[in-house]
Amino acid sequence: MAGQLKCQYRMKLSYNDCIAITIALQKKAKFHTTEKNLPKIKNLQIIKYEF
């Protein structure tokens, strides 16, 4: 699934983000990030931080 996300969003997501997002989706956990331009991904619950 991480590889599929990387192919779909190759210019927007790093491979590490793809792995973390995949784990969050599989575990139905919230994805915590500081990314400003995160694409909308179905069923992904995002919590954004600004520092």
Each as own residue / partner, the long-range contacts of residues 25-28 (CB below 8 Å, 24 or more positions apart, any chain) are: 25/1, 26/1
Band the pLDDT of 45: cuts 50, 70, 90: very high
Can you give the pLDDT at residue 16? 95
The predicted pLDDT at position 41 comes to 96
pTM for the predicted model, two decimal places = 0.90
pLDDT of residue 40: 95
- Which DSSP letter does residue 40 get? P
**How does pLDDT run across 10-37, given as a tens digit for each residue?**
999 999 999 999 999 999 999 999 998 8
